[in-house]
Structure 1
Amino acid sequence: MAHETSETTAASSVDAAASSGRRFLRNKVPEVTVSFWIIKVLCTTVGKTAADLLGEKAGHGLTGVSVLMSVLLAVVLVVQFRTTAYRAGVYWSAVALISVVGTLISDSLTDGMGVPLETSATVFAIMLAAVYVVWYRRERTLSIHSIDTTGRESFYWLAVLLTISLSSATGDLVSERMDFGYWLSAVLFALLIAAIALAHFALDLDAVWSFWIAYVLTRPLGASFGDYLSQPTDDGGLGLGTVVTSVLFLGVVLGLVVYPAVTRKDVTQLHQAARQAA
């Protein structure tokens, strides 16, 4: 899953763009490396615990908190869309905020409106599938190595939001309704991600679909782990609390984001090829 396209494919794309006179637009998302997956899991952990914290402490209810966080997300996404290339700080801020908002949307449906988790998970799955279909029909690719236009970036962030809401409902369904518990749920989702990685590297499962399936599964993995650390011992957790867990993982995320941003190891091959050809 680390490389969805080869250097030859990237070079061909650059040559095609050059021959058509198209201005190079740098890829707006990072290279898919081990650090990418670690940061993604930790961002979803922060998203889950932060959503729980805001819902409990803010005093505005799920609706008020959801509106506030949606406004903050909109501001960060405006900055993200206005950038001309991947910027680690802006990108991962958007991921963290979208993790919070996606979780709040799922929680609002379940806790605020009484929608069954099975229903919300099904609806989110249908919506996500529809986004993928329209995205592919318009762009002929779902690869995150080609998020280099406003249209593709719009589809990308919409898909990310829906993956969070879908996996939030699915994760709660597995850990709570099916009574797996937080720790066992985290192990289950980790094994599923490992199975997808094995299928990709050993059985040649399509790289794009491998990425998106694993991307969906990272959220319930991170959320289950976050719940295990933050929830009271009587509920099967370690009792660290949402504040401690959120701050702890946010600090780790910041450290992991700074390193690849400085070393430029999170810049995609296509991005690099475009820079050389420009």
Structure 2
Amino acid sequence: MANIQSDKFNTSEIVRKVPEITLMFWIIKIFATTLGETGGDTVTMSMNLGYLAGTMIFTLFFVATVITQIREKKLNPYTYWITIIATTTLGTTLADFCTRSLGIGYAGGSTLLLVLLLGSLFIWKRTMGSVSVDTVNSPKTEMFYWGTIMFSQTLGTALGDWTADTMGLGYSGAAIVFGTLLLLVAAAYFWTKISSTALFWAAFILTRPLGAVVGDFLDKPISSGGLALSRYSASAVLLICILSLIVLSERRASLQKCYD
């Protein structure tokens, strides 16, 4: 999806703390959400620490990265994407803890998290006047932004598991479903007058279950429909891909500035 402009704010008058919303943004986001799944499962399953311990570990990681991100005076793409990865790993372990350890189930967990997500967006809108990413330029707005992202990442994990397991679509079937929904959101952006801000959050939410089911497809046993790849190796490869794409994106931006 192309650049998303706020309906109420002049983006030239603020310092952006969020990357430009381009196709590269969405590609990195999907890699990050996939890493969140394999990384979260590495700690809770491969290391046998369990969902509660994993959630506690990634909560500390999430808080530390959000504080670091908020303290940045301007956009630092590496800090930003590390914070995104922190939300996806925490979202994985937190969703698994709620739906499995607490016994809420995928349907109950997804419903609860959807209510929390919508509530976060509603309070953000009422407090700050807009939920556009172009307005994320102050500590207060960033707190709303990262809190909303945290709920969306956790919801996405539960939705992915619900679709793949409870609905019986499997990992590949669920990936097709969420991939198709993302394409529909992209089509709506280009060919309808639906709010670009609403479409951004729809796409942001949908990339999480897509990444979740792709991550499960990579590391789950063959008997369960996965490829049974090493979670450690899959996570390392995904992290290298993310870092490479960030470097590529930064170099392209630098070249563009030179030509401008």
What is the TM-score when the length of structure 1 is the normalising length?
Answer: 0.87
Secondary structure of the residue aligned to 1:5 is coil
Q: 1:42 aligns with which of 25, 31, 34?
A: 31
How far apart, CA to CA, are the structure 2 residues paired with 1:92 and 1:217?
18
C-alpha distance 87-234 of structure 1, shift in aligned 2 (>3 A): same
Report deviation, 1:9: 6.0
Question: Is the radius of gyration larger for structure 1 or structure 2?
Answer: 1
Match of residue 99 from structure 1: 88
| Unaligned ranges ≥5, structure 2 | none
Counterparts of residues 1-278 of structure 1 (less than 5 Å): 1-5=1-5, 10=10, 14=13, 26-264=15-253
C-alpha distance 73-8 of structure 1, shift in aligned 2 (>3 A): closer
How far apart, CA to CA, are the structure 1 residues paired with 2:213 and 2:248?
26
Report deviation, 1:121: 0.7
Q: Is the 8 A contact 1:228 1:238 kept in 2?
A: yes
How far apart, CA to CA, are the structure 2 residues paired with 1:139 and 1:226?
35
Q: Is the 8 A contact 1:41 1:222 kept in 2?
A: yes
How far apart, CA to CA, are the structure 2 residues paired with 1:163 and 1:141?
18
What is the TM-score when the length of structure 2 is the normalising length?
Answer: 0.93
| Unaligned ranges ≥5, structure 1 | 15-24, 273-278
Q: Is the 8 A contact 1:231 1:241 kept in 2?
A: no
Letter in 1 for 2:164: S
Report deviation, 1:97: 1.1
Higher mean displacement: 240-249 or 27-36: 240-249
How far apart, CA to CA, are the structure 2 residues paired with 1:163 and 1:34?
20
Q: Deviations over 1:128-162 (max 9, x none)?
A: 11111111111111110110111111110000000
Q: Is the 8 A contact 2:113 2:154 kept in 1?
A: yes
Q: Point out which structure has higher relative CO (alpha carbons under 8 A, 6+ apart).
A: 1
Q: Is the 8 A contact 2:9 2:134 kept in 1?
A: no
Q: Deviations over 1:14-34 (max 9, x none)?
A: 3xxxxxxxxxx5111100011
Q: Deviations over 1:211-269 (max 9, x none)?
A: 0001000011111112112222111112223222211111111100112234437x9xx
How far apart, CA to CA, are the structure 2 residues paired with 1:57 and 1:191?
31
How far apart, CA to CA, are the structure 2 residues paired with 1:192 and 1:182?
15
C-alpha distance 138-7 of structure 1, shift in aligned 2 (>3 A): closer
- Count residues in correspondence: 256
Query: What percent of counterpart residues are identical?
Result: 29
Match of residue 22 from structure 1: none
